[in-house]
Structure 1
């Protein structure tokens, strides 16, 4: 009877973005963010777009950072700096 050793399953690498927060309280701080799911501390403050008052959206009570693809590296810019 031969025995076989189980082969470990290789999982795809879990990509992480190294981003910089610009402006506001966290100006210059670097954060490591998973593209699909930001960490809980950033989940509520990251937005792709500004709030639309016509749809009843408003600013949350926390700082809001928007993704800024321009520049040498990915970063999130404080929305109130615009």
Structure 2
């Protein structure tokens, strides 16, 4: 499997996990999966898409997560 295919597989898996988190109504898991999707986009050089996901994650983390999780997402945004 080549690099681009790995990204596609990763995005598919994280998207499924994101959907499950939403179905379960679990904002902490949703935020975590949004961060993960953002990282995949960032690794591909798709920085605008990554920032969108990071900001979505941050909004949830500000409401439902602790300072360490919030800081992790803020670091992702700052890169």
Verify same fold: TM over 0.5: no
TM range (shorter): under 0.3
TM-score between both structures, scaled by the size of structure 1: 0.25
Under a length normalisation based on structure 2, what TM-score does the superposition of the two structures give?
0.25
Structure having the higher helix fraction is 2
Greater strand fraction, Structure 1 or Structure 2 = 1
Higher relative contact order (CA 8 A, sep 6+): 1
